């Protein structure tokens, strides 16, 4: 009987030891997922509703986003007659001054983003480049540059596409004599989102 009591005592001690050693596990804190997806963190092609966009990401994180149909995104100025461009030619205006295009461009960009998108990207800078037909002054291509890791990288490609279409539809320039000699004219600016 003594052996039986000893065994029971040992079992009781072990059970109480095991029971006291079990500390309730604390739940790990739940991390909130980033509610915004970064769409441009790799070089990729977006096949959307009737259009294709290309996102080229450089090693340092700068993204060039453009319509895949663009011809001048990475092109350099050339003269239509094939002669080289002189260094002084770049000092002459390529478009005639006017009093409306600048403000209209700013307005179009500011209106392109939804209220929710504007909250995310307010104060961020978007580089907007328009390629202008040097004969007609019409905007024929648009491309955008931004860092993929900024909130601008969370904006859907469809928003940039709508911005491209609005600029093409609502903006035009008057090429100068010097501008008409070139294969295209680039007009761009760094836009701070309001």
For residues 123, 192, 139, 56, the Cα torsion angle rounded to the nearest 10 degrees is -60
The sheet that has 185-192: what strands, in order across it?
44-47, 52-57, 62-67, 139-147, 125-132, 185-192
Range of weakest confidence among 16-25, 49-58, 66-75: 16-25
Give the pLDDT confidence of 92-135 residue by residue, as tens digits: 899 999 999 999 999 999 999 999 999 999 999 999 999 999 99
Orientation of helix 101-111 relative to helix 157-170, angle to 10°:
150
179 in any annotated domain: yes
Q: Which domain holds residue 179?
A: 44-192
Residue 75 has pLDDT above 90, yes or no: yes
12 in any annotated domain: no
Which SS3 state, helix, strand or coil, does residue 104 take?
Answer: helix
6 in any annotated domain: no
152 in any annotated domain: yes
166 in any annotated domain: yes
Cα–Cα distance measured from residue 153 to residue 162, given in angstroms and rounded to the nearest whole number: 16
What burial class does residue 109 get, using C-beta atoms within 10 Å of its C-beta: 0-12 exposed, 13-18 middle, 19+ buried?
buried
Task: For residue 82, name the pLDDT band (cuts at 50, 70, 90).
Answer: confident
- On average, the pLDDT of the chain sits at 85
13 in any annotated domain: no
**Domains of the chain: total:** 1
Give the pLDDT confidence of 176-191 residue by residue, as tens digits: 999 999 999 999 999 9
36 in any annotated domain: no
The conformation of residue 14, written as its DSSP 8-state character, comes to: H
21 in any annotated domain: no
Task: For residue 77, name the pLDDT band (cuts at 50, 70, 90).
Answer: confident
């Amino acid at each position: 009987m003594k052996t039986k009591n000893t065994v029971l005592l040992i079992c009781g001690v072990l059970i109480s030891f095991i029971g006291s050693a079990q500390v309730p596990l604390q739940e790990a804190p739940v991390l909130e997922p980033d509610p915004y997806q970064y769409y441009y963190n790799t070089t990729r092609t977006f096949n959307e509703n009737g259009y294709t966009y290309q996102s080229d990401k450089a090693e340092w994180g700068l993204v060039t986003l453009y319509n895949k149909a663009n011809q001048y995104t990475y092109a350099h100025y050339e003269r239509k007659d094939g002669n080289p461009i002189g260094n002084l030619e770049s000092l002459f205006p390529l478009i005639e001054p006017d009093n409306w295009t600048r403000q209209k461009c700013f307005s179009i960009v500011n209106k392109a983003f939804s209220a929710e998108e504007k909250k995310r990207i307010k104060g961020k800078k978007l580089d907007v480049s328009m390629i202008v037909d040097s004969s007609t002054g019409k905007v024929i291509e648009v491309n955008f540059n931004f860092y993929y890791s900024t909130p601008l990288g969370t904006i859907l490609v469809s928003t940039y596409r709508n911005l491209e279409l609005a600029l093409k539809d609502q903006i035009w320039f008057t090429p100068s004599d010097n501008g008409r000699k070139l294969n295209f004219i680039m007009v761009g600016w760094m836009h701070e989102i309001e």
